[in-house]
Structures are given as C-alpha cells and as structure tokens.
Amino acid sequence: MQAQYPQALWIPHHKYGYPQGTQGRNGQTLLYVVVHGTGMPGTAQEIARYFQTSPIDAGTHFIIGRDGVVVQCCRIEDAAWGNGGPQPSADPFWPTTINANLLTVSIEHCKPSPDNSDPLTDPQTLASFRLIKWLCERCAIPKHPADASGGIATHASIAPIDRAYCPGPYPWDDLYAYLNAP
C-alpha cells in the first residue's frame, strides 16, 4: 500500500476500525476533517512511529511536520482512532449515538508544546491548507466550519473536556480564504 495523498509518506499504524483492524466506516459517511495538534515534540515521521508502537488507543490519518512533511498513517476510507467521543458539552451537531471517528478524517499538526500553544510554521500551514483542500474535494466535505452538514472542526469541538486546547492556534480565516479562492 502507498499513501493516497500524493505528497505524503506512508507510515501506517493499525489503530483504526471497529473492531480493531476492520476496514471501512461501518456504513457511515465521511463528513468532517478534524484538526489536531500533537502536544509533543517530534517530526511527522517520529509521531507516526509513536502511533505505530504506543500502547495508547489513538491513531490518525495524517500528520504534518513543522517542516511541511506530510505522513499518511491510515486509509481515508477507514476510521482512525483520532477523536472518540463526543463528550458532554461537545458542539451540538455531533451525533451522540455514532462514534465520531466513523464520520471524520483526522490531521495531526506537530506542535512540541504540551498545550499546543505553538503557532504553525509557514511550511506546515501551506501543507495543511493543501491537504485539507484535497480532502474536501476528494471526499465531498464542505469547505466551511463544521456544522450538521459536515465541514472542518477542531478536536476540542468533539472533546471539550480533555482536549480543550486541541489544536491550539490555527489560521482559520486564512484557511477558509484559501479553500474558497477562485
């Protein structure tokens, strides 16, 4: 297998599917891109290897390094373990009877500070914008802030209790200008 996103390296993990390793999304439709911050030091490749070897039940579809390197870790068609939830007080559009991972594709951004307070670097920003645009166009995800119809969300939108700081600073206005430019 190779990365689906043409600019990505392929470093797969097996933290996807319900039950584990099951391909697909259990009949659910992909509606959302969820933006995350890693809250730990490391390159995109190092974070990908962390997901491969860590005993925690967490995974992602993509990781974007501070140098702009993109790593794909899971097929878009499969539900990576990136979001869980939704938690109490999550944004009201998240269905409470469906695991959010079945509806989402997750993008981690390498941010070394534990509170994700690092701004994105210029190469990371451009790589993120390009990847999100590609995902929205390839998967028919709306190019707007998340609502009941789909769109682009923060991890904090799903998990406001234990991920309130995720993804941290992100250039949202610039993203939407980029996505909607002619």
How much is the pTM?
A: 0.96
Write b or e for each residue in 100-124: b if 16 or more Cβ atoms lie within 10 A of its Cβ, otherwise e: bbbbbbbbbbbbeeeebebebbeeb
Domains, the chain, in order of start with CATH, read: 8-179 (3.40.80.10)
- SS3 at position 163: coil
**Cβ neighbours of residue 55 closer than 8 Å, sequence gap 6 or more:** none
Quick: pLDDT tens for 115-156.
999 999 999 999 999 999 999 999 999 999 999 999 999 999
- SS3 at position 74: coil
Query: Helices then strands (H, E): number in the chain?
Result: 4, 6
Quick: pLDDT tens for 6-55.
999 999 999 998 878 789 999 999 999 999 999 999 999 999 999 999 99
Q: Report the alpha-carbon distance of residue 155 to residue 140 in Å, rounded.
A: 20
Q: Average of pLDDT values for 161-182?
A: 94
**Cβ neighbours of residue 20 closer than 8 Å, sequence gap 6 or more:** 14
